Amino acid sequence: MIRKQLEEYFQQHRQELVEDICRLVRIDSVKGAPQPGMPFGPGPAAALEEALTMARGMGFAVRSWDGYVGTADYGDGPRQLDILAHLDVVPVGDDWTVTAPFAPVVQDGLLYGRGSADDKGPAVAALYAMRAVKELGIPLRKSVRLILGTDEESGSADIAHYYQHQEEAPMTFSPDADFPVINIEKGRAHGVFTASWEESGALPRIVSFHAGTRANVVPGTAEAVVAGLTAREVEEAAKSVDARTGITFSLIDGENGLTVAAQGESAHGSMPMDGRNALTGLLTLLAELPLAEDGASERIRALNELFPHGDWRGMAAGVDRHDEASGDTTLACTVLHLENGALRGEFDGRTAIGANQENTCDVLIAAMAARGMALECRHRPEHVVPAEAPIVRELLKCYEEYTGQKGEPLAIGGGTYVHNLKNGVAFGCAMPGVDNRMHGADEFAVVDDLVLSAQMFAQAIVDLCQ
Helices (H), 97-215: 120-135, 157-162
* pLDDT tens for each residue of 23-48: 999 999 999 999 999 999 999 999 99
Domain layout of the chain by residue ranges: 2-186+383-465, 187-380
Alpha carbon distance 294, 370 (integer Å): 16
Q: Do 2-186+383-465 and 187-380 fold alike per CATH?
A: no
What pLDDT shows up at residue 458? 98
Q: Mean pLDDT throughout 52-65?
A: 98
Q: What's the pLDDT at 43? A: 98
- State pLDDT tens for residues 188-215: 999 999 999 999 889 999 999 999 988 8
Task: Tell me the per-residue pLDDT of 124-150, one tens digit each, with 9 for 90 and over.
Answer: 999 999 999 999 999 999 999 999 999
- Residue 98 DSSP SS3: coil
**Model's pTM, two decimal places?**
0.86
Of residues 20, 88, 158, 449, which has the active-site annotation? 88
For residue 87, the model assigns a pLDDT of 98
- Exposure b/e, 377-396, CB count within 10 A at least 16 = b: bebbbbbebeeebebbebbb
One of 119, 152, 178, 346 is an active-site residue; which one? Answer: 152
For residue 439, what pLDDT band results from cuts at 50, 70 and 90?
confident
**pLDDT score of 32:** 96
- pLDDT tens figures, 341-368: 999 999 999 999 999 999 999 999 999 9
CATH architecture of 187-380: 2-Layer Sandwich (3.30)
Within a 13 Å sphere around the CA of 290, how many CA atoms are in the beta-carbon half? 6
HSE of 209, CA atoms in CB hemisphere, 13 A? 28
Residues 6+ apart with CB under 8 A from 307: 280, 283, 316, 317, 331, 332, 333, 347
Which pLDDT does position 438 carry in this prediction?
84
Q: How far apart are CA 104 and CA 329, in angstroms?
A: 38
Closest CA to 333 of 192, 223, 188: 192
Over the chain, what is the mean pLDDT? 96
Per-residue model confidence (pLDDT) at position 156: 93
pLDDT band at residue 412 under the 50/70/90 scheme: very high
Total residue count of the chain as it appears in this document: 466
178 assigned to active site = no
Q: What are phi and psi of 374, to 5 degrees?
A: -100, 140
With 80 as the cut, is the pLDDT of residue 1 above it? no
pLDDT at 183: 96
Residue 251 clears pLDDT 80, i.e. is over it: yes
- Of 48-57, 94-103, 265-274, 322-331, the poorest mean pLDDT is in 265-274
Q: Is the pLDDT of residue 268 over 90?
A: no
pLDDT of residue 155: 85
Given a cut of 90, whether residue 22 has pLDDT beyond it is yes
Which region, left, alpha or beta, applies to residue 246 given φ > 0 means left and ψ of -120 to 50 means alpha? left
User: Taking residues 304-328, what's their average pLDDT?
Assistant: 96
DSSP state of 54: H
Confidence of residue 187 (pLDDT cuts 50, 70, 90): very high
Q: What share of the chain is helix, strand, coil (3-state, %, to 5)?
A: 35, 30, 40
Do 22 and 113 meet the contact criterion of CB atoms below 8 Å apart?
yes
HSE toward the beta carbon, residue 96, CA cutoff 13 A: 21
Q: How far is CA 388 from the centre of its chain?
A: 26
Contact between residue 155 and residue 214 where contact means Cβ atoms under 8 Å apart = no
Q: What class has domain 2-186+383-465? A: alpha beta
Please give the average per-residue pLDDT across 314-341, as a whole number: 96
For the residues 208-228, what does the mean pLDDT come to? 94
> Catalytic annotation on 88?
yes
pLDDT at res. 414: 83
